[in-house]
Amino acid sequence: MSGNRGCIFNTLLFLVIVFVPVLGHIIATVMVFEDDHSAAGKVLWLALIWLVPFLGSFLYLMFGQRRHYVMFGQPAYNSYQYQQR
């Protein structure tokens, strides 16, 4: 019985160590393709994400996103105009 527990634990550990980072890379890759970077910018971000495993995704999430966030149904760039009126 205890031999099976070790096998299940090793399998779960393998899944967490291998597939969770790969899933994170796939999500970051989709995010790069959705943003409005130039072709060279997309290639550089993708290279950074896939070649530098944890740091690349972190750097992209901190500095690479070019999205206009929406708060309360209004685009973020319009909220500044509404405050000045």
Assess contact for 35 and 66: CB atoms under 8 A. Answer: yes
- Report domain extents, the chain: 2-84
pLDDT value of position 74: 58
Q: How confident is the model at residue 77 (pLDDT cuts 50, 70, 90)?
A: low
Portion of the chain with pLDDT greater than 70, in percent = 72
pLDDT value of position 49: 92
pLDDT value of position 46: 94
- Amino acid (1-letter code) at residue 74: Q
Tell me: the pLDDT tens digits for 45-68? 999 999 998 889 888 988 888 765
Whether the CA torsion 35, 39, 40, 43 is positive or negative: it is: positive
